[in-house]
Structure 1
Amino acid sequence: MSITQQHLLDVHRARSLGEPVPPAPGAHDRQVVREWRDERRFRAVLAGRPARHRFRDTLSRWRRRPI
């Protein structure tokens, strides 16, 4: 059974029982990734490491590099 079929089955069951409908799969992906990133930064600070933006730092280094 695919995730879409499972979701449709859960929606049908919830509606027939008068319960709130569950959120669609992937509805909160951005929030989960944002919380995961914040947790990594927090743990880095607790461990005494700088909480860096690695991707942003790399891009700025490439931009400053002489040609």
Structure 2
Amino acid sequence: MNIWTSIILIIVGLYDLAIVFNRRQQLNNDYVGQSKTLKHQRWNLIGFLVVGLVLLIAGIVMLFIRR
């Protein structure tokens, strides 16, 4: 495995996590009283969170298990 691949995975994972935290703040401020929209947006954030964590963990694992 290439070190650049692991670095790119870590960067993309951190970027996805940053999107989640920024949109979570926006979600709490904008959607007051709109429960259906709130649930839909929350599921989108959970998807970004899962993808970000998977990419981050995969990048860290690839960084330490190089050959």
Whether these two folds match at TM > 0.5 is no
Structure number with higher helix proportion: 2
Select the structure with the greater relative contact order (CA < 8 A; seq sep ≥ 6).
2
Pick the TM interval, shorter chain.
Answer: 0.3 to 0.5
